Amino acid sequence: MMPQQMLDFTDCTVVVTGAGGGIGAGIALRFAEAGANLVVNYRRSADGAEAVVTQIQSFGRQAVPVQADVTQKADVERLFEQTIAAFGGVNVLVNNAGIYPLHGLADMPVDDWDAVINANLRSTFLCTQAAAQIMKVSAQPMKSVINIASIEAENPAPMHTHYNAAKAAVVMFTRSAAGELGADGIRVNAVSPGLIWREGIEEAWPDGVERYKMAAPLGRLGTAEDVANACLFLASPGAGWITGANLVVDGGVMTNQIF
């Protein structure tokens, strides 16, 4: 395969969870730019998902929005049933859906803990399991699962015990799944973003943004496109001998000396 073909996803089907906005939307759009057809999953952001689908279609690619709560097995089954109905199969799954509320550990309600674990970890398990069942019987050479983790899997943030734990588990789940599914030609990798820009973040958290920029050797926040580019590489033939890996996309902030 020629180098210029490495990032060509023409006629591949990519499912991105939590793609109604933010990082998920950026990932879906980047795969569409590379030629893929998309299943744009969302839970509540119907308008956002429709906007993403419209933009994908403007690239000349096909896309369908699918509402599903990916913490629920029945919804996940329906998501992949609709994927097969629309495109006949799935080549790439990006487990992006998740939530990250703030709450102190000492008085954290159990329901809040469960909600974060379910949104970030249970969803990854359910979607990976469903996609793997389809990929195992597929003759297509491209079979890839990419899990969106976080640098908080290794560097815990305050008020985020539930999120830190969930993302650390996602990284280990990635390694375990890679070990089990490799024999079926399915590669499983993770991407761990650092602080990613979103509209209004400078106003909502000005000191945090400035601290991050000072700590990151590349001197800026990340973008959804930065994360999307990492996903594109890991799903591509260029990463054909990479599985069980966790690619950190953080502008270098994790290079800082701890003491």
Please give the C-alpha separations between residue 72 and each of 121, 126, 133, 216, in angstroms, as whole numbers: 12, 8, 17, 37
In which residue are the tokens 């369908």 written? 64
Which residues are the active-site residues? Answer: 163
Could you give the 3-state DSSP secondary structure of residue 217? Answer: coil
Residue in this structure with the two tokens 């976080």, named with its chain if needed: 150
CA angle 183, 18, 154 (to 5 degrees): 65
Alpha carbons within 13 A on the beta-carbon side of 94: 35
What's the longest Cα–Cα distance across the chain?
Answer: 56
Sign of CA dihedral 134, 68, 172, 92: positive
Here the tokens at position 8 are: 């060509």
The H or E element containing residue 246 is strand 246-249
